[in-house]
Amino acid sequence: MSDQTANGHAHRTPKAEFYIYFSLIFMVAVPLSLVAWVWTTLRDQRFPKYGPFARAWREAGAITPAIFRT
């Protein structure tokens, strides 16, 4: 039988703890992203490519796996 873990990292299904952390980080990131979105809109006088929720979602999606990385 061959080893299915490439470089020692197996793909695991996210657990409830992951979703809890993701939700908490997302809720903190939304107001900060909203402020950044308004500032960017006023500064550049045009709407950014991504809205505040998309930006918060990407930030939470980047931060949460970093917490669980060992």
Strand partners of residue 6 = 9
Three-state DSSP class for 51?
coil
**Length, in residues, of the chain:** 70
**Range 38-42, long-range pairs (CB < 8 A, 24+ positions):** none
Q: Measured between alpha carbons, how far is 70 from 60 in angstroms, rounded to an integer?
A: 18
Q: Along the 70 residues of the chain, how does pLDDT read in single tens digits?
A: 555 555 656 667 678 999 999 999 999 999 999 999 999 999 999 999 999 999 999 999 999 999 888 6
Residue 53 has φ and ψ, to the nearest 5°, of: -70, -40
